[in-house]
């Protein structure tokens, strides 16, 4: 789940937090600033006196009560002799009975409605295999979600879906709810006959009961896996079918979405084949399925049965802007990294998430090429820098964290993926994949921890990477380099590299390296071409001398941008301009494009950016050049951006329109209207609508109202029109805001309409009423938009509604992040002047 890329794994909680962080730059100031960091507590992997062999889970549901009735039989072997009691995780259940196998009742104690302590009928030894059967019911507020139509969205489907990670599966079936134990499962669910049930493993049978109009679905998974990956989905679906070596590879989409499903998941089977090849390990399970559900933030890699947001489905036109390959490949990669090999403990979560994030990029490299891969890795690094400078700091591998949900962060995803990219650089292509293949084969079906990965690398390649793991995984931070280059005029180039980072005194419990030791490629381009020198940085102060045949034209420190690092390498606009137009390395050109906007906005810089924008082979160099040009506001930059609006790549056109938008120039209105009516990209249309609004041109209102009438996939053209109207600030738009904020409209349109009301409704009683009513909506995205719009409205009369919202936070909202944020808005509103009333 990062800015332009599609969603990563995780539940709605992660989604909500991320939306807050991404969309509200003020968040850091309002919510998180100030307080001194506190040492997180130690978390040790859990010990267990028994080893679960098998779960047999039988379920039925009550839609009206959102309740589940179940019988779960847990078969296990003691790890010790004389085992007389067992503790099972069972959250907020009504326990009806506990029995031994098929036999007599067992005594039990239900502690804090969380731990089920079962007294066995006699002591058991390590030679025994015991089955305990729990009969129960529950109305889960975690782990299992019922989706039903509601007043604000009567078109919502009926669905039931589970979400086990990190530790919420024990709210719908009793289990050992921790990753360090693997078992086989059978899941049997009885539902109304119009619904399908999708679960782990292979489908054993579907039995219909014509009298009761029910079907009983029996899914069995014969290979062992961790309990957080057990999944059930109930809903109405149609299957997009494919296969890998005869095994079904399916995407379950809504019955009216077959064509869009075929478009969105066209490459799934090809991915299964490609990851089988890269890991050297054929997809090992009976089937792969990914099933779309409502209100799911991202996706979850439940073994053989991924759960995915229904937003991953899109129409053909959406593919002009991008595919769902990132989310699809991420979850698929987890079937190896996370499911076949599973982190032993949540502090080792990077072994799941960083690998899946890395494999997303590996898939993109396969489809789009190395430049796209490297650009994606640079973006992963950027996400990390942002987190670091906001004060979110930790080593990737740590046993100090607040709770398991807290480790699904920047370090688990992009920072870890960027570390794997460095590892690939350090080991080299062949050795890296050899190591990965050995690691996968050696630890198949097992739990893993980081040290085992390190040992696997040494076994496969002979390389002991203790130093690398220490720097990049067990310690935190990154090198801050100061680089200077000096040509002596006589065929010797000296490059001095200094490390200036300091340890973080505020977080003494997390060490950081004093010196980062790494190889780095320094590429020197002269008139006769490029030469790449690999050097080792071993000290805080290094000097490297290179023989060159003539004056260097480009000195590219870290060719390929593999290292996680910050660099100060002061070069003038002329040097950067030359690099932007001539460097063989696309990451060097991207860096030059970005750095050129930080100088004095010289003509040299503008000309080079305009030229790169028009001519570079790689779309990201063109789009980064357009972004930089957007900050210049000169005739050259304007001409360059106008040219870039014609680019064949929608991402470049979008950046160009965004750059032109900042000029707020009425003369550009016709161009924006042309893009609104003719661009194939939804995102370019959206950007053009916003830009048109900013021009304030007389023609803008009618053009945007015209766009408002167009139907489109997920209504995103209508939402784009409302965003444009918000920027236009024409008072006629407020009534349109009320119209489209009403229940019954799609969530994206309602969100945009609420934002419009927040912008235009100051002093309007109805605006206040509509926005505060939005806080009580059942849909979390609508609630989030209402909160944001209230902040924008700035009306102190909204304070009681926000205070009331804090008192009754809806389920699924992460209080730790949201409460301080809302409190910040309340404080701002209390200090705001009372608004003038406008009717
Ligand atoms: Zn993931």
**What confidence tens digit (pLDDT) does each residue in 299-354 have?**
999 999 999 999 999 999 999 999 999 999 999 999 999 999 999 999 999 999 99
Ligand 1 mean position to 1 CA, how many Å? 10
Report the candidate in 297, 238, 231, 290 with the shortest Cα–Cα distance to residue 265: 290
Which pairs with CB-CB distance under 8 Å and at least 24 residues apart come from 573-578?
573/599, 573/600, 573/602, 573/604, 573/605, 573/608, 574/604, 576/605, 576/608, 577/604, 577/605, 577/607, 577/608, 578/553, 578/554, 578/608
Contact between 297 and 263 (Cβ < 8 Å): no
Q: How do residues 402-444 score in pLDDT, each as one tens digit?
A: 999 999 999 999 999 999 999 999 999 999 999 999 999 999 9
Tell me the average pLDDT of the chain.
94
The pLDDT of 459-477, averaged and rounded, is 98
pLDDT band of residue 24 (cuts 50, 70, 90) is very low
| CB-based contact 421:436 (threshold 8 Å) | no
| Cβ contact 286:226 at 8 Å | no
Give, rounded to a whole angstrom, the gap between the first and last alpha carbons of the chain: 41
Q: Give per-residue pLDDT as tens, 659-685.
A: 999 999 999 999 999 999 999 999 999
Residues with CB under 5 A from ligand 1 (ion): 9, 353, 356
Cα of 324 to ligand 1 centre, how many Å? Answer: 14
381-393 mean pLDDT? 96
From residue 318, give the alpha-carbon distance in Å to each of 31, 682, 713: 35, 7, 8
* Predicted pLDDT of residue 812: 67
- Going across the sheet that includes 50-62, the strands are 93-100, 130-138, 67-78, 50-62, 182-192, 214-226, 202-209
Going from the Cα of 165 to the center of ligand 1, the distance in angstroms, rounded, reads 10
Cβ pair 225, 205 in contact under 8 A? no
* pLDDT(457) > 90: yes
Q: Is the pLDDT of residue 207 over 60?
A: yes
CA of 334 to the centre of ligand 1 (A): 7
What is the CA(171)–ligand 1 centre distance, in A? 22
User: Which distant-in-sequence residues (6+ apart) come within 8 Å of 513 by Cβ?
Assistant: 470, 471, 475, 477
How many A from CA of 682 to the centre of ligand 1?
27
The pLDDT, as a whole number, for residue 10 is 40
Alpha helices in 462-498 (DSSP H): 466-469
Does residue 34 register a pLDDT over 90?
Answer: no
User: Cα dist. 646→624, 674, 720 in Å?
Assistant: 16, 12, 21
Distance 738 CA to ligand 1 centre (A): 38
Distance 281 CA to ligand 1 centre (A): 20
Is the pLDDT confidence value at 2 over 80?
Answer: no
Question: Residue 480 Cα, ligand 1 centroid: separation in angstroms?
Answer: 30
Query: In this predicted model, what pLDDT tens digit does every residue of 729-738 receive, in sequence order?
Result: 999 999 999 9
Do 514 and 520 form a contact (C-beta atoms < 8 A)? no
Backbone φ and ψ for 423, nearest 5 degrees, come out as -60, -40
CA 354–ligand 1 middle distance (angstroms): 8
Q: What is the DSSP letter of 445?
A: T
Task: Report how far ligand 1's centroid is from the alpha carbon of 301 (Å).
Answer: 7
Buried b (16+ CB within 10 A) or exposed e, 175-206: bbbbbbbbbbbbbbbbbeeebbbbbbbbeeee
Question: Would you place residue 36 in the very low, low, confident or very high pLDDT band (cuts 50, 70, 90)?
Answer: confident
Check pLDDT > 70 for residue 568: yes
pLDDT classification of 102: cutoffs 50, 70, 90: confident
One DSSP character per residue, 51-109 reads EEEEEEEEEEEETTTTEEEEEEEEEEEESSSSEEEEEEE--SEEEEEEEETTS-B--EE
10 alpha carbon – ligand 1 mean position (Å): 7
Report the run of H or E that residue 487 belongs to, with start and end.
strand 480-487
Q: What strands, in cross-sheet order, belong to the sheet with 554-557?
A: 529-537, 518-526, 554-557
Checking 276-279 for CB contacts under 8 A at 24+ apart, the result is: 276/244, 278/359, 278/362, 278/433, 278/436, 279/336, 279/436, 279/437, 279/440
Contact between 87 and 116 under an 8 Å Cβ cutoff? The reply is yes
Of residues 1, 5, 23, the one with CA closest to residue 13? 1
> What is the rounded distance in angstroms from the CA atom of residue 217 to the CA atom of residue 208?
9
pLDDT per residue as tens digits for the range 576-607 = 999 999 999 999 999 999 999 998 899 999 99
C-alpha–C-alpha distance, residues 685 and 650, integer Å: 10
Ligand 1 centroid vs 265 CA: distance in angstroms?
18
- Residue 490 CA to ligand 1 center (angstroms) comes to 53
Report CA(413)–ligand 1 centroid distance (Å). Answer: 8
Candidates 377, 291, 281, 297; CA nearest to 335 is: 281
The 10s digit of each residue's pLDDT in 508-536 is 999 999 999 999 999 999 999 999 999 99
71, pLDDT greater than 80: yes
Task: Give residue 412 CA to ligand 1 midpoint distance, Å.
Answer: 9
Measured over the CA atoms of residue 160, residue 306, residue 116 and residue 83, the dihedral's sign is: positive
pLDDT, position 20? 46
Which distant-in-sequence residues (6+ apart) come within 8 Å of 204 by Cβ? 186, 218, 219, 220
Please name the residues in contact with 272: beta carbons below 8 A apart, sequence gap of 6 or more.
244, 249, 283, 288, 332
Angle at 673 between CA 668 and CA 674, to 5 degrees: 100
Q: How many CB atoms lie within 10 A of CB 87?
A: 15
**Which among 218, 223, 150, 141 is positioned nearest to 184, based on CA atoms?**
223
Name the DSSP letter for residue 468: H
Gap from CA of 306 to ligand 1 centroid (Å)? 11
d(CA 294, CA 307): 10
Is the pLDDT at 29 greater than 50? The verdict is: no
814, pLDDT greater than 90: no
Q: For the residues of 757-774, what is the DSSP string, one character each? A: HHHH-TT-HHHHHHHHHH
- Over residues 15-20, the mean pLDDT reads 45
Q: Please, are residues 354 and 337 in contact by the beta-carbon 8 Å criterion?
A: no
Instruction: Calculate mean pLDDT across residues 242-249.
Output: 98
CA of 139 to the centre of ligand 1 (A): 27
Rounded to 5 degrees, what are φ and ψ at 250? -130, 150
* 116 and 99 Cβ atoms separated by less than 8 Å: no
- Best CA proximity match to 230, nearest among 290, 287, 169, 172: 169
Model pLDDT, residue 18: 44
What pLDDT, on the 0 to 100 scale, is given for residue 777?
87
For residue 419, report the distance from its CA to the centre of ligand 1, in Å. 16
Calculate mean pLDDT across residues 715-726.
97
Give distance in angstroms: CA of 359 to centre of ligand 1.
Answer: 11
Distance (Å) from CA 224 to ligand 1 centroid? 20
Can you give the pLDDT at residue 563? 98
């Amino acid at each position: 789940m990062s800015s332009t890329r599609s969603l990563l794994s995780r539940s709605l909680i992660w989604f909500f937090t991320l939306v807050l962080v991404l969309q509200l730059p003020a968040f850091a100031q309002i919510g998180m600033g100030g307080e001194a960091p506190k040492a997180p507590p130690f978390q040790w992997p859990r010990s267990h006196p028994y080893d679960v062999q098998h779960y047999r889970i039988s379920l039925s549901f009550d839609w009206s009560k959102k309740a589940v009735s179940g019988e779960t039989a847990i078969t296990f072997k003691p790890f010790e002799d004389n085992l007389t009691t067992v503790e099972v995780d069972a959250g907020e259940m009504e326990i009806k009975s506990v029995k031994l196998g098929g036999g007599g009742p067992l005594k039990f104690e239900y502690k804090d409605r969380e731990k089920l302590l079962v007294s066995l009928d006699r002591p058991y030894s390590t030679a025994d295999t015991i089955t305990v059967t729990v009969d129960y019911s529950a109305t889960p507020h975690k782990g299992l979600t019922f989706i039903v139509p509601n007043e604000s969205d009567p078109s919502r489907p009926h669905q039931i879906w589970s979400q086990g990670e990190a530790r919420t599966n024990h709210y719908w079936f009793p289990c050992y709810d921790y990753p360090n134990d693997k078992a086989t499962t059978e899941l049997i669910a009885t539902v109304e006959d119009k619904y399908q049930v999708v679960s782990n493993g292979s489908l054993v049978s579907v039995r219909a009961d014509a009298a009761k109009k029910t079907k009983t679905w029996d899914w069995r998974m014969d290979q062992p896996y961790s309990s957080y990956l057990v999944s059930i989905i109930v809903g109405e679906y149609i299957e997009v079918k494919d296969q890998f070596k005869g095994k079904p590879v399916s995407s379950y989409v809504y019955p009216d979405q077959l064509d869009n499903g075929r478009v969105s998941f066209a490459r799934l089977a090809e991915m299964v084949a490609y990851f089988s090849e890269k890991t050297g390990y054929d997809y090992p399970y009976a089937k792969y399925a990914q099933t779309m559900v409502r209100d799911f933030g991202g996706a979850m890699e439940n073994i053989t049965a991924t759960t995915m947001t229904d937003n991953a489905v899109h129409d053909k036109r959406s593919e002009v802007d991008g595919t769902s390959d990132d989310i699809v490949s991420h979850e698929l990669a987890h079937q190896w990294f996370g499911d076949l090999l599973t982190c032993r403990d949540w502090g080792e979560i990077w072994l799941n998430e960083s690998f899946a994030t890395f494999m997303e990029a590996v898939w993109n490299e396969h489809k789009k090429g190395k430049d796209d891969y490297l650009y994606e890795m640079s973006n992963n690094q950027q996400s990390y820098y942002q987190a670091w400078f906001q004060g979110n700091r930790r080593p990737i591998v740590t046993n100090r964290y607040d709770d398991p949900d807290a480790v699904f962060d920047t370090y688990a995803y992009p920072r870890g993926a960027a570390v794997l990219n460095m590892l690939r650089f350090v080991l080299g292509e062949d050795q890296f994949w050899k190591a990965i293949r050995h690691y996968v084969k050696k630890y198949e079906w097992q739990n893993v921890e980081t040290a085992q990965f390190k040992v696997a690398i040494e076994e496969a390649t002979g390389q002991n990477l203790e130093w690398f793991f220490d720097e990049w995984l067990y310690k935190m931070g990154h090198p801050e380099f100061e680089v200077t280059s000096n040509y002596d005029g006589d065929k010797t180039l000296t490059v001095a590299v200094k490390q200036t980072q300091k340890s973080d005194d505020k977080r003494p419990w997390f060490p950081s390296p004093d010196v980062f030791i790494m190889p780095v490629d320094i590429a020197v381009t002269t008139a006769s071409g490029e030469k790449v020198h690999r050097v080792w940085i071993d000290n805080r102060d290094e000097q490297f001398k290179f023989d060159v045949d003539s004056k260097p034209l480009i000195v590219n420190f870290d060719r390929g941008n593999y290292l996680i690092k910050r660099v100060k390498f002061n070069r003038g606009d002329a040097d950067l301009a030359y690099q932007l137009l001539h460097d063989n390395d696309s990451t060097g050109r991207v860096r030059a494009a970005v750095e050129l906007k930080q100088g004095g906005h010289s003509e040299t810089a503008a000309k080079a950016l305009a030229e790169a924008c028009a001519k570079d082979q790689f779309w990201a160099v063109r789009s980064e050049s357009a972004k930089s040009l957007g900050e210049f506001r000169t005739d050259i930059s304007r001409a360059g951006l106008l040219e870039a609006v014609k680019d064949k790549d929608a991402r470049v056109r979008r950046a160009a329109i965004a750059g032109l938008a900042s000029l707020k120039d009425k003369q550009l209105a016709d161009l924006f209207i042309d893009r609104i009516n003719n661009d194939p990209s939804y995102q370019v249309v959206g950007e053009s609508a916003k830009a048109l609004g900013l021009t304030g041109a007389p023609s803008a209102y009618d053009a945007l109202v015209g766009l408002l009438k167009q139907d489109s996939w997920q209504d995103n053209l209508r939402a784009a029109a409302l965003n444009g109207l918000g920027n236009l600030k024409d008072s006629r738009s407020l009534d349109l805001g009320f119209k489209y904020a009403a229940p019954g409209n799609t969530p994206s349109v309602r969100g945009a309409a609420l934002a419009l009301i927040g912008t235009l409704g100051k002093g309007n009683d109805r605006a206040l009423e509509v926005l505060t009513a939005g806080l009580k909506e059942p849909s979390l995205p609508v609630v989030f938009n209402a909160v944001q719009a209230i902040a924008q409205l700035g009306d102190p009369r909204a304070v009681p509604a926000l205070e009331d919202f804090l008192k009754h936070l809806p389920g699924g909202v992460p209080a730790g992040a949201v409460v301080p944020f809302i409190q910040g808005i309340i404080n701002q509103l209390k200090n705001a002047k009372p608004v003038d009333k406008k009717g």
